[in-house]
Structure 1
Amino acid sequence: MTSHEAALERPLSLQARDSFSPLLHQVPQTQQSLRGIIPLSSKVTSVLSASYADTEFREALTLLDDRGVHNTAESRRRLRLDLQREVINSNGEVINEFAKVAEQLRRIGHTISRLNENFQETKTQIGAAHKATTSALSEGSLLIAQRSQIDKKQALLKAFNANFVLSGDEMAALTLTSEPVDELFFTVLSKAKKISKDCEVLLGFGNQTLGLEIVEQASKNLSLGFQKVYKWVQRELKTLNLENPQIGSSIRRALRVLAERPTLFQNCLDFLADAREHVLSDSFHTALTGGSAFGTQRVSVKPIELAAHDPLRYVGDMLAWAHSATVGEKEALEVLFISDGDEIAKGIQAGRENEVWRLIAEDGEEPGSFDAVSALNELVDRDMSGAVRLMRQRVEQVIQTNEDTILAYKLANLLSFYKGTFSRLLSPGSSLVEFLGLLESEALRQFRSLARDHVATLQGEFHHTPPNLGPPEFLIDALEQLLAIIKTYETSFASPGDREADFKPVMAEAFDPFLSGCIRMAQAAGAPSNSVFLINCFMASLNTLSKFSFMQTSTAQLQEKIAKERARLVESQYAFLRVESGLESLIESLGALEEKDEDVEKLSSLEAVQAPELVQASQMLDEFLPSALMDAVENLRLLQDTKLARDITEDAAKRFCVDFEHVEEMLTLADEMSERRNAVEEMPEVQSLRALFPRTIGEIRVLLS
């Protein structure tokens, strides 16, 4: 810490006292001296009011410390003089330096004057040169502008020729029939289509002459190009072998290009359909006979007409050939029309947009979008039409000459199977499916006709039941025939929910008439023979139909009929037990009475309860009971289901036991009432009813069990 800073660390009043104490001691204490002290007090006050926090004050103190000035009287007297001397010296140095600056400024002014003179001279020379070269520069600028315009026109002409004009080689490749339909042709055709489309831009300007000329030329070139590819496709289709797995990509591409002209494309399809129809017709004729329609024999082919040993095999082989040919034809044509996606559909849609007159149909409606799959199926259907006509003649001949009912149904089922197959392969509305539907209907008509003729020949057998009350022979034959038909039907593709409904017409022809004949035969027989006969017939039918799950409704109807006839047999057996046991009148008389006192009082007055009648009834019951069950079972000996016969007899015996128990209870109540009355009136005892009729319900149940 410096001496001045150390002094400043002390209180300011102490510092002032230390500094000015010598002066205060030296001043005399007079009136005059007091007036001299007043300025000094002001000075002291000013010093004391100075703040050490003032930056200038602190810098002044720091400067004193750097000079090594001590706080003495001599130092304080010389301090101002030293400071003034230093200030004067500093000012002199500054003046010397400014003298040097002034000298440099004079030199710079002289240099600037020389530069101004040179500038004015150069400006004069440039002005003269500019006047001399103005005409040449103007002419050069004009030439440059003209050259720029020429370059732009050349670039525009080059672009125009590249985008709107076909070269001579391109014209030849597009229009001359001597040139092949190759990659260059398709490239030029694409360029011509692009030119025609780009001409729409030119037609948007005010001067449309150039655009119209280019559109006309492009349309002409495109027409020539499409005619060329159209004729080329027709030539290729004449020699096209669809059986070749590697069909050229050129014809596929040509067809996709030709699709943009729907009329030409449809003509090609018609041409292809006619050609394929003749090929497939000849192939079918060869498959049938071993030789083509032109007389050419093929030893490697085994003719269907010789290989098929029965009508069903014959028809099945023809339909199998048709299915195989259709699948092969469709797969081959898929390569031509669908293998590259929906390009044909896009082309036809574009063509319809271009051919405005095709947008409006005769009925004023717009045609729908092109469906490649439907068009393919229609084309395959047309290709098969010739073979289908030949096939139809032969199948109709087989159906009409057939006299077997089962075979007629098998033919109908076979035709139905292939109808469903072709419906999924092509479409439900194709002519091939319609043809099979017509043949199926004809086969079903033949089946119904044969079934009705068979029923008509059996009308004489519908009069008398067989001696053994078993199913008649015609029903057994009908069930065997029905079993064969159902097994054939099971192989069809009918859905499980619709099978029984679909099979009802067959049941109506092949089963219902025979069952109705059995019912008419039963009407002529008496009970219980009629019910036994019907149950035997129904059970035989049920055993046949219950083997098939889709015959649930028919089996349920048969079970209802069996239950109805069973109830009749139970009633017959019950009546037999009542009559043969001798209890008919007794059960009938007591059946209307209840276990009430008034009904019990009426009992003694009934004729059937009199002693002679009760004794006779008891004797008949005793004679009947030993052989009662055997006699009852004997009544149903012709019922082929022995278990059912036992169940029927047991049900009848249970009903008889219930009636007997009621009779026993009423007789017991009558005896009890009589005993009570005799005891009250003290009358002599009489023989009880139970003594005259001693059998109990327990004995009856044992003997009838």
Structure 2
Amino acid sequence: MPKSNDSEHVLSNRLTKVIETRFENDQETLEALRQLSSFYKDNTLQARRNLRSQIEKRSLLINENFLSAFREVKESFDDVYNDVADMSKSIRDMTNRLQNARIQTKHLLDQTNSLNNESINNEMQIQVATAFINKFQLTQDELVALHGSKTRKDSTVTMDIFKALDKVQTIHANCKLLMQSGHQTLASDIMEQMTLHQEGALERLYRWSQNHCRNVDNPELTEIIQKAMERLQDRPVLFKYVIDEYCISRRATLVGEFIDALTRGGPSGNPSPIEMRAHDPQIYITDMLAWLNKAIPVEKQKLNTLLAKCTKIDTSQDLENALSSICEGICQPLKIRIEKILAVPIEASIFYAVTNLIRYYRKTMAKVTSGGLLESTMLELQEKSETAFLQSLQNQVTNMLVRVEAPPRDLSPTHSINNLLCVLRDILSTASMSEGRESDMGRIAQTVMEPLLRAMNEQASRLPPTDMAVYMLNCMYSMYTCLSLYQYMEDRLERLQAQSEAQIDTLTSEQASSLVAILNLGPIYTILQDSSHGPLSSIPGMEPSNLRNFLIKMDTLATKPESMLLPQINLLSSSQHKKSVQKRAFDVLIAIYKQLYEAVYNPANLYENPETIFNKSPDELLTLMSNAK
């Protein structure tokens, strides 16, 4: 019983396993079934019994087919093996023959290798020699560029000379490295050779630059000349010689152009020659100085172009000296022509215009070139023009005052004084806009005012004191009015003011004396000044009746102050002077009136009812007179 149970259990397990097996995931089983379906058609009992034998037959057939196919492969491999064996045999034969040939040609191969090595060494030496020559020697073309061709006389310099000089300098620098590597003798020889080439090239550049410095305007030569000057700056002496040659050339050219502008004018006569305007000094000198003012910056620009590449020296100082040297040639013709104008007697105003022109252009040219003969010439011409102007002005003043005119009846300034003041006003108006106006205006005023004051004093000396004071005040008022319009006249205005005050004092004294005489105040004032007398009321002339007559006249003067003024006072040109004289004269009267008023009201003088004598106090009288003015 136990065995039967075990068999059933095993069978049950197998059935369970078969049932649980999922054939759709078993690819081998599916493939086997697919193959089985190809030849298992009928599911019969007989077919199931013959299934094993059919499978075995099918397997046997497959093995037989495989064996047949493998036999063909084996035969193919046998053929290949035989061919490879034949090839191996042939290769062994060839190898043996090559070994025999190599043994036989070994000496020839050794010689060939030795020759190849020598050839390689020679090629390396050739390359080293070529590199050394290129590095430390100049080519034939470079030598020609430095020294020119020996077969033909050709002094033309091209840009190649500068490239060759650069290479010479590079070789110099390389020789220093060569010396450090132990080849001192070779490096020294090369450096000496390069030095000779460099000096010869610089000498050639120097000669060429001297010959062609006049062609600095040629655009084709500009860059070459600039580079030549750049190289020559290392040789200061040669550099200076070239600059001197250039200055000589440009000086002659500038003088020629200046003379042409004076005598020939521009192309086809446009503009016209400057000499054609010599009859007008102002225009003539303006044209000459304007031409120079335009030409000098052009020369400076040309010098800047010439020295544009010079950076190792102080080109500003060299340029300044060179420009001064170029401008020296025009100084003499300019000086001769301007001095000729200054020697001709013309109006002072024209001379002053010429002076200002010279000053302006001197300052303008100094911005371009300072120092040198041109600046000293312009300074000399300026000083001469200033002297000529002052001399002309002095002569003009003298001529206008040569005849002493009698003052007119209205005591106003004479015609010559008015004309001279007009001249002074015109010149001062011009001078106030000039550059040196402070100095000029002072000298102009002194040149005119001193003779004018002398002439005025001489004219006034022939007049009575009152007329003289009025005439002097009128003249000085005109002068003061003229000078007060301008700056830097403070000192002269103060002097005129002081002189006017002196004349006002004189006129005030005359006016006060006249009023005292009209009012018959002389005896009264004398009595008031004498303190030795007794009471004033007992002194003859100081009676109340006499004092009342004086007070009546004072009342008339207070209501009509101008009625008792001197006639000359009304001839004063300045209302301020008139008021000042009138006020000061009236102040004298008020002072006497006050003194008399106090004396009458003094009980010691025994005046009865003083208020009936003086009905106005000094302050009331002063107010009345002030209102009446």
Tell me if both proteins adopt one fold, taking TM over 0.5 as the criterion: yes
- Residues 570, 648 of structure 1: 8 Å contact kept: yes
Are the structure 2 counterparts of residues 197 and 590 from structure 1 closer, same or farther at C-alpha, using a change threshold of 3 Å? farther
Is the counterpart of residue 223 in structure 1 residue 192 in structure 2? no
Deviation at residue 580 of structure 1 after TM alignment? 2.2
Report the AA paired with residue 292 of structure 2.
A
The 1:658/1:263 distance shift into structure 2, 3 A limit, reads same
Q: Partner letter of residue 320 of structure 1? A: A
The answer to whether 1:481 aligns with 2:423 is yes
Residues in 2 aligned to 1:423 and 1:649: alpha-carbon distance in whole angstroms: 59
The unaligned stretches of length 5 or more in structure 1 are 1-145, 349-369, 594-598, 676-685
Inter-partner Cα distance in structure 2 for 1:538 and 1:152 = 110
Question: Match of 2:438?
Answer: 500
Distance in 1 between the 2:130 and 2:538 partners?
139
Asked whether the 8 Å contact 2:147–2:200 carries over to 1, the reply is yes
Choose which of 301, 318, 330 in structure 1 pairs with 2:300. Answer: 330
Shift in CA distance, 410/167, structure 1 to aligned 2, threshold 3 Å: same
**1:423 corresponding residue in structure 2:** 366
The structural deviation recorded for 1:189 is 1.0
Q: Provide closer, same or farther for how the CA distance between residues 576 and 168 of structure 1 changes in structure 2, counting only shifts above 3 A.
A: same
With normalisation by structure 1, the TM-score equals 0.63
CA separation of 1:195 and 1:590: change in aligned 2, threshold 3 A: farther
Deviations 1:317-345 (A, max 9, x none): 1111111111222233323324xxxx524
Residue 228 to residue 651, structure 1, CA distance change in 2 (3 Å): same
- Go from structure 1 to structure 2 and tell me whether the alpha carbon gap of 1:607 and 1:173 turns closer, same or farther (over 3 Å shift): farther
Alignment match, 2:28: none
Give the total of aligned pairs.
Answer: 507
- Give, in whole Å, the separation in 2 of the partners of 1:567 and 1:201: 102
Change (3 A) 1:647 1:623: closer
Counterpart residue type for residue 344 of structure 1: C
What is the DSSP-based 3-state SS (H/G/I as helix, E as strand, rest coil) of the residue aligned with 2:565? Answer: helix
Conserved in 2, the CA contact under 8 Å of 1:581 and 1:621?
yes
Residues 673-688 of structure 1: matches in 2 within 5 Å?
A: 673=604, 687=608
Q: Shift of the alpha carbon at 1:545?
A: 2.3
**Percent of matched pairs sharing the same residue:** 22
Q: Structure 1 residues 628 and 588 mapped into 2: Cα distance closer, same or farther (>3 Å)?
A: farther
The partner residue of 1:264 within 238, 249, 266 is 238
Measured in 2, the distance between the counterparts of 1:693 and 1:575 equals 23
One-letter identity of the residue aligned with 2:569:
L
- Alpha-carbon distance, 1:313 to partner: 0.7
How big is the alpha-carbon RMSD for the aligned residues of Structure 1 and Structure 2?
Answer: 4.0
Residues 398 and 451 of structure 2 are in contact (CA less than 8 Å); yes or no, is this contact kept in structure 1? Answer: no
CA–CA distance in 2 between the matches of 1:650 and 1:316? 57
CA distance in 1, matches of 2:622, 2:284: 70
Deviation at 1:393, TM superposition (A): 1.4
What is the rounded CA distance, in whole Å, between the counterparts of 1:462 and 1:310 in structure 2?
Answer: 34
Distance in 1 (CA, whole Å) between partners of 2:139 and 2:372 is 49
Change (3 A) 1:510 1:621: closer
Match of 1:171 among 107, 124, 143: 143
Aligned match of 2:590 in 657, 667, 682?
657
Matched residues in 2 for 1:275 and 1:508: separation?
49
Give the aligned partner of residue 238 of structure 1: 214
Q: Is the 8 A contact 1:311 1:398 kept in 2?
A: yes
Q: Report if the CA contact (8 A) 1:569-1:648 is conserved.
A: yes
Q: In the alignment, is residue 380 of structure 1 matched against residue 354 of structure 2?
A: no
> Distance in 2 between the 1:674 and 1:234 partners?
115
Q: Matches of residues 626-641 of structure 1 in structure 2 within 5 Å?
A: 628-632=561-565, 634-641=567-574
Q: Does 1:667 align with 2:600?
A: yes
Deviation at 1:196, TM superposition (A): 4.3
Shift of 1:233: 2.3
Q: 1:565 to 1:601 in 2, by over 3 A?
A: same
CA distance in 2, matches of 1:575, 1:247: 96
Structure 2 match to 1:183? 159
Displacement of 1:232 in angstroms is 2.6
**Match for 2:214: what amino acid?**
K
C-alpha distance 696-291 of structure 1, shift in aligned 2 (>3 A): closer
Which residue in the other structure is 1:549 paired with?
487
CA separation in 2, counterparts of 1:408 and 1:687?
80
User: Residues 503, 549 of structure 1: CA spacing in aligned structure 2 closer, same or farther, 3 A cutoff?
Assistant: closer
1:537 paired with 2:475, answer: yes
Higher alpha-carbon deviation: 219-228 or 402-411: 402-411
Displacement of 1:304 in angstroms is 1.6
Cα distance per residue 1:31-61 (max 9 Å; x no partner): xxxxxxxxxxxxxxxxxxxxxxxxxxxxxxx
2:570 aligned counterpart, secondary structure: coil
Q: 1:211 to 1:334 in 2, by over 3 A?
A: same
Find the partner of 1:702 among 619, 624, 628.
624
Report whether the alignment pairs 1:584 with 2:522: yes
SS at match of 2:375: helix
Counterpart residue type for residue 396 of structure 1: E
Distance in 2 (CA, whole Å) between partners of 1:622 and 1:548 is: 46
Number of the residue aligned with 2:579: 646
Counterparts of 1:227 and 1:628, CA distance in 2? 103
1:175 counterpart letter in structure 2: H
Residue 396 (structure 1) aligned to one of 321, 336, 339: 339
- In 1, are the aligned partners of 2:456 and 2:472 still within 8 Å (CA)? yes
Deviation (angstroms), 1:590: 3.7
Q: 1:433: how far off? A: 1.8
Residue in structure 2 matching 1:344, options 310, 313, 317: 310
Mapped partners of 2:587, 2:265: distance in 1? 80
Matched, 1:303 2:279: no
Structure 1 Cα separation of the partners of residues 566 and 317 of structure 2 = 71
Answer whether contact 2:411 2:474 (CA < 8 A) is retained: yes
